[in-house]
Amino acid sequence: MLRRFSSSTALCALLASSGAARALPVGEAAAARQMTLVEALAYARVHQPQVRSALAEVRARLAEAQVPRAQWFPQVGATAQVFYGTANNTTALYLAVPEADLPRIGATKAGATGAWTPSPSTIVAASLDQEVYDFGRIAAQAAVADALAEETRAGAEVVALDVQLGVEEAYHGVLAGKEVLRATDEALRRAVTHRDYAQAGVRTGLRPPIELTRAEADVAQLEVRKVRAESSLQIARAAFAAAIGSDALEIDAAPLAPGESPTPAFAEALRAAVEKNPIVAQAIARLAAQRYATTAIGRELLPNLLATAGLSARAGGAVPSSGAASDVPTGGGWLPDVPNWFAGLVLQWNVFDATVLARRQASQAREEAAQADFDLARMNATLLAQRAWLDLDAATRALPGLESALKAAQANQAQADARFKAGIGNVVELADAEALLINAELELAIGRFNVARARAQLGRAMGEHENGRTR
């Protein structure tokens, strides 16, 4: 009776592959919460870890995009220093700490030779720097950060669509699993009835014993198939729960409401794939970010104008250049009590830097790679939409034939059942009719699942977010 049951095996494998199995014992599966597709998608958008991780990455990128713009705010720094050492002066150069601007003012008397006697020196200073004009450097850096944030946002949309596709496939997998279990259960019920008829016929001598043994074998096989169908349904429910990010071990799928949207035209599907697919948008943002990066690197060679102002107090214990010991400040250099202030404009200009030029050249090469990635993303999006549309079209056109085959198999089974009960037909004829019927039921369940999956994949290729349905 079950010689054509390979379709059921394939569907069970398909259901099991859609997610991790966390099935409950059979007796507890009935307590699983039931969700519609709309409810499942809404739940996944809030609780699915992949979606939450992608959104957190977007928020991080948006925060990073504010870093370059912060260069327009004033920078305040301070320093406090204490030294004890020699103070022999000459025409020397020095580097100040980056946190505070500190002009050099005082010095000891210059001489050809130095003394080894140390003296203390202290200083306390604070300064404020304000960007005046950056010749477009900060704007270029901000543009890079914005483009990277846009790329991350597009990547989050890719994740959301992938999760949506997984939820839809898992949802329809549960529905298909229910159809498999229903068809198997009905076939088992009919097989038990036929076994009872065969048993009565053998008992009265109207039927040979081989018909009873064949009927018992059919019942035993269907009982095994029912156990497997129940297990596959539990696996599908567990996969559905995992797909939406639920803590529940299993989630059941509520029946699908009628009224699905029609399949879009082929040209419309291809156009939407290029314009709305976030993979393409991600490639565009990546290309834009690389172009802005090239511009930002080049502007590092432009001048930078900033204003600076500060206060300081200092003192040194060495005899100053006047040669008078009375000019040594109070405290002998240990107390910074000589005040100063300053204000000015500073022009910085990195006129030539081979490293910057090499970085700009490398960034331009990266632009070419990003352009190639963008072209590839457009092509892949188009091919994905084309394949999904053709799969949906083929699956949709196959449904009427599958439905007709089911009706014919039902009529054939009814005739064989009537002949068997009337004593005209034999168990082999009935088994063939039963196999034809259950195979037709399973083929129709698989066909409906294929339509739903292809519709979801087309929506994914077109960048649709409307509950997995194409517009």
Tell which residue, 256, 280, 230, 314, has the closest CA to residue 467: 256
How many CA atoms lie within 13 Å of 105's alpha carbon, on the beta-carbon side? 16
pLDDT at 20 (0 to 100):
40
User: 161 falls in which pLDDT band (50, 70, 90)?
Assistant: very high
Please check the confidence at residue 17 and state whether its pLDDT lies above 60: no
| pLDDT band at residue 23 using 50, 70 and 90 as cut-offs | very low
pLDDT at 119: 74
Which pTM does this prediction carry?
0.76
Residues of the chain with pLDDT > 70: what percent? 82
Q: What is the pLDDT of residues 225-248, one digit of tens each?
A: 999 999 999 999 999 999 999 998
Arithmetic mean of pLDDT, 383-411: 94
List pLDDT tens digits, range 87-136: 555 433 333 545 556 555 555 665 556 667 787 877 788 888 899 999 99
What pLDDT is stored for residue 202 in this prediction?
85
Can you tell me the distance from the alpha carbon of 165 to that of 163, in angstroms, rounded to the nearest whole number?
Answer: 5
Domains annotated on the chain, with CATH: 6-67+146-290+359-462 (1.20.1600.10), 74-106+118-139+303-353 (no CATH)
Higher local confidence (pLDDT), 121 or 297: 297
Report the 10 Å Cβ neighbour count for 4. 15
Residue scoring higher pLDDT (259 or 149): 149
Q: Which pLDDT score, from 0 to 100, does residue 10 have?
A: 44
Per-residue pLDDT at 431: 87
Residue 233: its H or E element: helix 209-244
When pLDDT is averaged across residues 407-430 and rounded to a whole number, the result is: 88
In this prediction, residue 197 carries a pLDDT of 84
CB within 8 A of 180, min separation 6: which ones? 8, 11, 12, 229, 232, 233, 442, 445
pLDDT above 90 coverage of the chain, percent: 52
Question: What is the predicted pLDDT for the residue at 133?
Answer: 92
- The counts of H helices and E strands in the chain are 10, 6
**Which pLDDT does position 31 carry in this prediction?**
65
Decide: helix, strand or coil at residue 232: helix
With a cut of 60, say whether residue 418 has pLDDT above it.
yes
What pLDDT does 75 receive? 85
Task: Give every CB contact of residue 19 below 8 A, 6+ residues apart in sequence.
Answer: 166, 170, 238, 239, 240, 242, 243
For residue range 439-460, what is the model confidence (pLDDT) as tens digits? 999 999 999 999 999 999 999 9
Sign of the CA dihedral running 172, 174, 179, 180 = positive
Q: Which of 228-242, 315-329, 422-436 has the lowest mean pLDDT?
A: 315-329
Average pLDDT estimate for 258-274: 81
Angle at 228 between CA 224 and CA 233, to 5 degrees: 145
* pLDDT above 80 (res 156): yes
Q: Mean pLDDT, to the nearest integer, of 173-178?
A: 94
Q: How confident is the prediction for the chain on average, in pLDDT?
A: 83
Task: Give me the pLDDT at residue 6, please.
Answer: 41
What pLDDT does residue 113 have?
A: 62
The number of C-alpha atoms within 13 Å of 290 and in the hemisphere containing its C-beta is 19
Q: What is the mean predicted confidence (pLDDT) over 313-337?
A: 75
Report, in angstroms and rounded to the nearest whole number, the Rg of the chain calculated over CA atoms. 40
Amino acid identity at 9? T
Provide the 8-state DSSP code for 28: G
Contact (Cβ atoms closer than 8 angstroms) between residue 125 and residue 70: no
Question: Per residue in 208-218, pLDDT tens?
Answer: 888 889 889 98
Q: Rounded distance, CA 14 to CA 3, Å?
A: 20
Q: How many residues belong to the chain?
A: 471
